[in-house]
Homo-oligomer: A and B are copies of this chain.
Amino acid sequence: MEQQKVTIKDVADLAGVSKSTVSRYLNNGYISAEKQAKVRKAIEQTGFQSNFFAKRLKTRESKLIGIVLPRMDSVTVGKLLSGITRVLEPEGYQSILLVSQLSGKKELESMQKLQQQGVDAILVDSVGLTAEHVRRAQEWGLPILYTGQKNAAVHCLKIDDAAAGHRMGVYLRQMGHKHAVFAGVTESDEAVGIERKEGFIAGFCEGRTDAKVDFVETGFDFLSAYNQAAEIHKLDPSVVVGATDNISLGILRYFHERGVRVPEDISVVGFGGYDVGAVVYPALTTVAFDYELMGMKAASYLLNILRGGEAGMTNLDMPLLFVERESVQNLVKKTLPINSTSLPAMM
């Protein structure tokens, strides 16, 4: 087997010291100023690079963080990863990536692989927490953090969907809207299908009895929402609330095609804060989830555990960003006399 060009032994010989001394130089163990200079010179001359595997074999620290992602080709995941990397890199950690392709089984397999690989910790953007997930988190010694899903028995980090929905509900109530259609997804998705919707209804109806929320179920994708748009339109609300920006985009397109003006004739809002929302006409008002920040928080959390600070469980407190753009009409303003008399020419 071909051997390494320059080893610690070569450096030691050249510097006239022992292997131990070179190792100490490398790891801030103590060494006299004199030998320090010699070793430094020898390392420069030889171009010595420490062997990763030999070092890790002994120290049992890989400085590698395993990350399991449900898929790669989504902006959401990209931002999450971006946030994780931003925190991990300066600390000398690097990430190994595995993709679960939205399969719980592959997710577990990937975690297993990473564990064998000797990563220091694992971060999983999970598609669903099972008993097996919980068991592994306990059985293996290493820190595991789940994002996107919630379970009291493990470390996890999740967006507060109820708060997001509530926020939007309050906003639309304040804008004077009374009849909303919530274009949502199946209730089998607890976060988006239930929490987000319930949160919205609570915020929208809070403190009044004349508010009305209808519900129409769609899929997650743009096309499925587009296909439900006619039904939504028939209910004749003043605002359509898409459970995700993609849903809202599908509805927006339908309205465009039919000549329904947004927000003059009807308002549309979404959740997610995708960049696309700024590009469509009119630009979509939305509650943005800061996935990059979530990635940063997740990474910090993991780092904290790694350093022995057995941080208190689960932090659900992910801040939300309300992005007010052009797709909502202010019904309150419109009925004020000062507006209705001074601005008729603008129509």
Choice from B96, B253, B279 contacting A96 with Cβ under 8 Å = B96
Give the one of A73, A85, A253, A292 with max B CB within 10 A: A73
Q: State in angstroms the CA–CA spacing of A231 and B92 once bound together.
A: 49
Least distance between A268 CB and chain B CB atoms (Å): 13
Q: Is there an interface contact between B89 and A79, defined as CB atoms closer than 8 Å?
A: no
Choice from B59, B71, B82, B281 contacting A256 with Cβ under 8 Å = B281
Q: Residue A72 at the B interface, CB < 8 A? A: yes
Chain B residue nearest to A67 in the complex (CB): B97
Q: Is there an interface contact between B78 and A73, defined as CB atoms closer than 8 Å?
A: yes
A interface bracket (residues with beta carbon within 8 Å of B): 35 or more
Chain B residue nearest to A280 in the complex (CB): B280
Q: Is there an interface contact between B82 and A73, defined as CB atoms closer than 8 Å?
A: yes
Q: Is there an interface contact between A99 and B89, defined as CB atoms closer than 8 Å?
A: yes
B-contact 0/1 string along A66-78, CB 8 Å cutoff: 0000011111011
Q: Which of A42-78 contact B (CB under 8 A)?
A: 49-54, 56-60, 62, 64, 71-75, 77-78
Number of copies: 2
Q: Is there an interface contact between A51 and B58, defined as CB atoms closer than 8 Å?
A: no
Q: State in angstroms the CA–CA spacing of A293 and B62 once bound together.
A: 32
- Residues from chain B with a CB closer than 8 A to the CB of A49 are 116
- Residues from chain B with a CB closer than 8 A to the CB of A2 are 60
Q: Residue A224 at the B interface, CB < 8 A? A: no
Q: Is there an interface contact between B97 and A64, defined as CB atoms closer than 8 Å?
A: no
Q: State in angstroms the CA–CA spacing of A71 and B60 once bound together.
A: 31
Give the one of A2, A72, A257 with max B CB within 10 A: A72
A-B residue pairs in contact (CB < 8 Å), sample of 14:
A52-B116, A52-B118, A53-B118, A71-B82, A72-B85, A73-B81, A82-B99, A85-B99, A89-B99, A94-B98, A95-B97, A96-B96, A249-B279, A280-B280
Extra contacts besides A72-B79, A75-B78 (13): CB < 8 Å: A1-B58, A51-B57, A64-B96, A72-B78, A72-B81, A72-B82, A73-B81, A73-B292, A75-B75, A85-B98, A94-B97, A253-B279, A276-B279
| A contact set with B: CB distance below 8 Å | 1-2, 49-54, 56-60, 62, 64, 71-75, 77-79, 81-82, 85, 89, 94-99, 113, 116-118, 222, 249-250, 252-253, 256-257, 276, 278-281, 292
